[in-house]
Copies of this chain bind each other. A is one copy, B any other.
Amino acid sequence: MKPVILVTNDDGVYSPGLRLLFEAVSDLGETIVVVPETPKSSTGMGLTLHKPLRAYRINYHGMPMYLLNGTPSDIIHFAHRKIVSEIDLVVSGVNIGDNTSIQVILSSGTVAAAVQAWLLGIPSIAFSVAIESGDELEHNILLAETIKKISRTLVEKVLKEGLIDADFLNVNFPSEITEKTRVVTAKPARLRFIENIEERVDPRGKKYYWIYGVPAPLEKNSDTYELLVQKNIVITPIKFEISCPLSAQLARLENILNNVLRSVIYSKKR
């Protein structure tokens, strides 16, 4: 039986990154494309709980797909519940702009789709490329070809072997491929951006604000460093080991708080 591959992204139907990923994997299985109706960058793991979702089927230049008016996380649940019950692999991307560092991994829509898949027990891979505009993919044939071949090989391997020791893979491609480019693994940096806010005044004299990020200082040997400085293709196997370090400080706190709790209960009983 052919494996079922769900292809999604957070940039929407017109992204050349979506087409690249679709073309890379479409003959490796039964490929289903579901994307947000409008771009959903930086939506993190958000779910749409407070309003209804609508889905449309379209065919965009030979790529049949579903559009959903929701987030990448909504898409994973919608595909899993309403399109096909068994999904063998989720691939998300190729995102225009890198997704490196814990900060970005936690807020990226592209990565969120991979995280949601992991939560459902489905292997997943997020792909991103460190370019500013999708046009660059159309003009840099070596870059596009590399992304296609590398993604395809990775998908073939994961379909065959699964992900042994990671929740999911986060893959980032550099802005250009040179003779020096290598495929490496690297752990996520903590910060990718320092967020600033620019204050402006609208035509009616009222203040408004824009949030924007400037690059944070580079952390040596991190995913960001390997990608932006070394110009390597970076694979980061992500494992959410959200730990619960039980320090002496915490044990003391627990004690103090239990005493507070006893005194509140006692005072209310009297």
Name A209's contact: one of B46, B78, B103, B106 (CB within 8 Å).
B78
Decide yes or no: A261 and B181 within 8 Å by CB, A166-B245, A245-B237, A247-B165 being known contacts: yes
Tell me, yes or no, whether A138 is within 8 Å of chain B by CB.
no
User: Across the interface, which residues of B come within 8 angstroms of A55, CB to CB?
Assistant: 207, 209
Binds B, one of A36-44, A85-93, A127-135: A36-44
Minimum distance in angstroms from A263 CB to a CB of chain B: 8
Tell me, yes or no, whether A50 is within 8 Å of chain B by CB.
yes
CA–CA, A42 to B261, complex, Å? 30
* Candidate in A150, A161, A186 with the most chain B CB atoms within 10 angstroms: A150
The count of identical subunits is 2
User: Across the interface, which residues of B come within 8 angstroms of A107, CB to CB?
Assistant: 44-47, 73
Q: Which residue of chain B is the closest to A142 with respect to CB atoms? A: B268
CA–CA, A153 to B200, complex, Å? 41
CA–CA, A261 to B149, complex, Å? 8
Docked-complex contact B52 and A209, CB < 8 angstroms: yes
